[in-house]
Amino acid sequence: MTFQEFSGTLEQPEPPAGFPDVLQALWYDGKGDWESAHEIAQSAEGTRPYDRLHAYLHRKEGDEWNARYWYRRAGAAFPAVSLDEEWEALVREHLSFRQ
């Protein structure tokens, strides 16, 4: 699936079947459902992809202190890009895992 195809699925009421959890969370976030995305991020704390997702979500929430904590746990630097660019990069990264 391409990024453009993923973005097109945001018009659907539910994420496509078979999406891994992190992609589901990014899908929910893309739909504006931060809470559902955050629940998924919390479901596997201590796992790098989930911690990285968690960091992004707290950055988006505006909780920079908490976001920095999660970026450190994920072994990632605090991004110097916009939230939209970070979201797209995360989606692209996780789509590449599926190929």
Region 23-44 average pLDDT: 97
User: Domain range spanning residue 38?
Assistant: 26-76
* Within a domain: 43: yes
Region 13-28 average pLDDT: 95
* Within a domain: 16: no
**Where do the H-state alpha helices sit in the chain?**
3-8, 21-30, 34-42, 48-61, 64-74, 83-97
Residues 51 and 45 sit within 8 Å (Cβ to Cβ): yes
Half-sphere exposure of 61 (CA within 13 A, CB side): 17
Distance between start and end Cα atoms, the chain:
8
Residue 98 has pLDDT above 70, yes or no: no
* Within a domain: 60: yes
Q: Rounded CA gap, 26 and 18, in Å?
A: 14
One-letter amino acid of 74: A
Q: Report how many domains make up the chain.
A: 1
* Within a domain: 12: no
Give me the count of residues in the chain: 99
* Within a domain: 14: no
Question: What is the model's pLDDT at position 34?
Answer: 97
* Within a domain: 8: no
Give me 54's structure tokens.
Answer: 């968690």
